[in-house]
Amino acid sequence: MSTSSQTILVTGGNKGIGFEICRQLARLGHHVILSARSAERGETAVAALAKEKLEVEFLLLDTSDESSIREAASTLAENHQALHALINNAAILDVWQGSIVEAGAAGIRDCFVTNTLGPILLTQALLPLLEAGRPSRVINVSSQLGSVENMTDGWAGYGISKAALNAATRKLAQALKPRGISVNAASPGWVRTDMGGQSAPLPVEQGAANIVRLITDVPSTLTDRFLEANGEIPW
Ligand SMILES: NC(=O)c1ccc[n+]([C@@H]2O[C@H](COP(=O)([O-])OP(=O)(O)OC[C@H]3O[C@@H](n4cnc5c(N)ncnc54)[C@H](OP(=O)(O)O)[C@@H]3O)[C@@H](O)[C@H]2O)c1
């Protein structure tokens, strides 16, 4: 638990839960690096926060693109000594909502590349900065739909990619514990965003707060957990 200012990178920060995470962390006085795959959408988001007198830094980062991940990591290393937290928030939902029996290869592959591989490669690329910031943390924004224990049919690409992200979370947690970096998965709940839709019960402020609490309320030593607002979700 730390109240001092931390340097925190958020992926997919231009809208939805990611944008609101950036806003809440900036309000708490942290140095927020808002990343987005589109310079235009990212700069627009940064400008919206500036109107609220919240200053955040922009970083161009497409988490589905290995060269973008490498370039973003090198830009960060040029401008920062250390990173205290990485919030892997960016994700996509597959267009196919129906049964896995009819799920297309492209939808499953795209979800895996953005939702699973991206967070793994980005964590690898940022290890020197995260080690310099230790005790530091990686927070993988996951979903109830990624819980193997509660797995149901539908949204195959998304559910499988989040279950795989959870598996990656556990492996990274074990690998990085000796290096002073905690790694946890966290669900924001079902939230009213472009992804969650308008029927979702939670406003975006609450969804983001359910992730931000991992920075403000959870000890940096807690690792290898799948957390939600009120406790833990079975893997
Ligand atoms: N909303 C829910 O009910 C809910 C429930 C459980 C978990 N979650 C998780 O919460 C996180 C945020 O979801 P959300 O509801 O805020 O979704 P959202 O409104 O659709 O926003 C997704 C964000 O991810 C970005 N993104 C997608 N692919 C990217 C890529 N390749 N590189 C960089 N950024 C990329 C999007 O950027 P563009 O604007 O460029 O597309 C956007 O900023 C996700 O991990 C999601 O799985 C959401």
The whole-angstrom distance between residue 131's C-alpha and the CA centroid of its chain comes to 19
Q: What is the pLDDT of residue 3?
A: 54
Q: Atom of ligand 1 at shortest distance to CA of 202?
A: 3
Ligand 1 pocket check: which of 192, 193, 214, 228 to mutate, most ligand atoms within 8 Å of Cβ?
A: 193
* pLDDT tens digits, one per residue of 5-48: 999 999 999 999 999 999 999 999 999 999 999 999 999 999 99
- Judge whether 158 counts as a catalytic residue: yes
Give the type of residue at 170. Answer: R
CB of 168 within 8 A of CB of 224?
Answer: no
List the structure tokens of 125: 């690329």
Which residues, including other chains, have CB under 8 Å from residue 17's CB and lie 6 or more apart?
Answer: 89, 141, 188, 191, 193, 204, 207, 208, 211
> For ligand 1, atom 13, which residue shows the shortest CA distance?
17
Q: What is the pLDDT of residue 4?
A: 85
Q: What is the pLDDT of residue 1?
A: 39
Q: Atom of ligand 1 at shortest distance to CA of 144?
A: 6
State the distance from the centre of ligand 1 to the C-alpha of 18, rounded, in angstroms: 7
Half-sphere exposure of 60 (CA within 13 A, CB side): 8
The whole-angstrom separation of Cα 229 and Cα 235 is 15
16 lines ligand 1 (CB under 6 A): yes
Hey, what domains does the chain have and what are their CATH numbers?
7-232 (3.40.50.720)
Rg (the chain; Cα; Å): 16
Out of 19, 58, 112, 158, the active site residue is 158
DSSP letters, 29-77, are T-EEEEEES-HHHHHHHHHHHHHTT---EEEE--TT-HHHHHHHHHHHH
From the CB of residue 151, how many other CB atoms can be counted at a distance below 10 Å? 11
34 lines ligand 1 (CB under 6 A): no
State the distance from the centre of ligand 1 to the C-alpha of 160, rounded, in angstroms: 16
State the distance from the centre of ligand 1 to the C-alpha of 6, rounded, in angstroms: 23
Q: What is the pLDDT of residue 2?
A: 45
Q: Atom of ligand 1 at shortest distance to CA of 62?
A: 32
> For ligand 1, atom 44, which residue shows the shortest CA distance?
91
**pTM > 0.95: yes or no:** yes
Q: What is the pLDDT of residue 230?
A: 84
40 lines ligand 1 (CB under 6 A): no
Q: Atom of ligand 1 at shortest distance to CA of 89?
A: 45
CB of 43 within 8 A of CB of 75?
Answer: no
Among candidate residues 175, 183, 75, the one with its CA nearest the CA of residue 125: 75
Q: Which residues of the chain have pLDDT under 70?
A: 1-3
